[in-house]
Amino acid sequence: MHSTRQPLRRPLAAVSSLGLILALGACGGGGDSAASTPGVTADSILVGTHQPLTGPAAAGYSTISPATKAYFDYVNSKGGVHGRKITYKVEDDGYNPATTQTVVRELVLKDKVFAIVNGLGTPTHTGVLDFLKTNKVPDLFVASGSRSWNQPEKYPTTFGFQADYTTEAKVQATYIEQNLPDEKVCFLGQDDDFGQDTLRGLTQILGEDGVAERQTYVTSNTNVAPQIGKLKAAGCEVVALATVPGFTALAVGTAARLEFAPQWISTSVGADYSTVAGALGDAAPLLEGFLSTNYLPSQFDDANPWVSLFKQINTDFNDDAPFTGNTVYGMTVGYLFVQALQQNGKELTRDSLLETIEDGGLDGPGLTALRFSADDHSGYGGAQMAKVTGSSQDYFGPVYTTDDGDTPVTEYTGEPTVPPTDGIPAA
């Protein structure tokens, strides 16, 4: 009897000590009553996000969440929203989908955030859609232009924010059709929905034969010489890019080394002048004439009241960090979230906030209107062309509006929005 009990003691001790360790660790997490809304108290709201603070997409994008946080700090300094101060918990996922899985679970299950706001990246965020849906977590303003965020039937809690890549690409293709009609158009894109959605928009306007050579890259391999070499060999004159900023710089730099100088035309996510020029360093003049689309005001447009508001907040609440397109982007996200909270009113639940957003009252600094409704969860619905001249990136031509489907590209007729006087959206 004794001899059979003895050997059991150690594994049992191991299991129980393990239990103790885990349970001790669990105590830090704390518990909340089932009735209350996770992450919301009478005077605070906790929201979280996953961002590439390190890794292949960190260039530029790592400055988005500090800008969003700066806007929240600005609002908090004025008393918060309905008496609640916003805490923004940023987790680094290194643009690695596997890490995103872990950090988002940590935010939702351990930190019990009220919502995920502006989780960044197509490959990264795609993997957590099901998890967020299962846990009924509002998944607001995803930082990516993939069409996946606009599936209200399948993912009722997920909302986009950016003009989707297909919309941006259709605006680019319209520009190419009108201004570069006889040029050979080619494509370099990320090997995921980001690239595919962009290509889809291009071919919708230019036709399947309209995009001659198509190349893809993966962020885990920083050598794009083979792809650029093929584009050069194919005699491309216009290269449409669906690249993150680091790879925009790589593509432009590699092409220069191969003595290949096509007309570049890029989606907004890979075209922020400050970021790409910063990555290129001394080679920044290569960007002269670089075309892109955008749906938010230009950082260089000092006359725009939104830009001056954001610049002021950047000085006061973001350590006067370099003011770039990413700053405008991050603060716009902050503004939209605060606007949603304001319009929702004091009684805040996850469901009530989703309903508020679906009511379609949000606007913000975008060049066109947001498309939110019960059966549309896509973000801004149009874009304008921009061109690099010297060290400025100025917008030109009309603002176009369209969608990710068959709707033709038309000029936007709405009026530009103006920020509220104190910079905080009305309730």
Partner 1 sequence: MLDRLARHRLARHLLIAVVAGAGLVALTYALPPFRNYQLATMAAYLCATAGLTVLVGLSGQLSLGHGALMATGAYACALTSAELGDAGVTAPLLLLGPLVAAIVAAAVVGGVVGLAGARLHGPYLAGLTLTLTIVVPAITTTFADQLGGDQGLSVLVEPAPAGLGIAFPLERWQAWIACTAALLTMLLLANLTGSRFGRELRAVRDDEVAARLAGIDVGRTKVVVFVVSAAAAGLGGGILAVLTQSVSPGAFSLAFSLFLLMAVVIGGTGSLAGAVWGALLLVALPELTALLSDNLATSPRLAERLDGNLSLLVFGLVLIVVTIVLPTGLQGLFSSAAGRLRRPSRPSPVDLTHQPTTDTEPTDAQHTSTP
Q: Under a CB-based contact definition with an 8 Å cutoff, are residues 136 and 130 in contact? A: no
- Tell me the C-alpha distance between 293 and 400, whole Å: 10
The answer to whether 211 and 185 have CB atoms below 8 angstroms apart is yes
Helix axes 305-317, 325-344, angle to 10 degrees: 90
3-state secondary structure 130-157: HHHHHCCCCEECCECCCHHHCCCCCCCC
- Which of the 8 DSSP states describes residue 265? E
Name which of 11 and 281 has its Cβ closer to partner 1.
Answer: 11
**Amino acid of residue 333:** V
Distance of closest approach, residue 293 Cβ to partner 1, in angstroms: 23
* Type of residue numbered 16: S
Least distance (Å) from partner 1 to the CB of residue 135?
8
Q: Specify the length of the chain in residues.
A: 427
Task: Give how far Cα 139 sits from Cα of 1, 37, 129, Å.
Answer: 58, 15, 8
CB of 366 to partner 1, least distance (A): 27
Nearer to partner 1, 107 or 307 (CB): 107
Residue 19 or 345: the one with the smaller Cβ distance to partner 1 is: 19
At closest approach, how far in Å is the CB of 400 from partner 1? 29
Q: Which is nearer to partner 1, 126 or 402 (CB)?
A: 126
Under 8 Å between Cβ of 61 and 52: yes
Query: 128 or 284, CB closer to partner 1?
Result: 128
**Which residues, other chains included, contact 170 with Cβ-Cβ below 8 Å and sequence gap of 6+?**
201, 202, 204, 205, 402, 409
Footprint on this chain of partner 1 (rule: CB under 8 A): 3-4, 6-8, 10-12, 14-16, 18-19, 21-23, 25-26, 29, 31, 53-55, 62, 66, 92, 94, 96-99, 101, 105-106, 109-110, 122-123, 126-127, 130-131, 134, 191-193, 216, 218-221
Smallest distance, Å, CB 296 to partner 1?
Answer: 24
Compute the least distance from the CB of residue 128 to partner 1, in Å. Answer: 8
Between helix 350-358 and helix 325-344 the angle, nearest 10°, is 110
Give the shortest CB-399-to-partner 1 separation in angstroms.
31
Closer CB to partner 1, 110 or 257, in the complex: 110
Give the integer Cα–Cα distance in Å for 69 and 399: 29
Give the three-state DSSP class for 368. Answer: coil
Q: Residue 8 or residue 42: which is nearer to partner 1 going by CB? A: 8
SS3 399: strand
Rank residues 128 and 206 by Cβ distance to partner 1 and give the closer one.
Answer: 128
H or E element that contains 85 = strand 85-92
Rounded to a whole number of angstroms, the minimum distance from the CB of residue 341 to partner 1 is 24
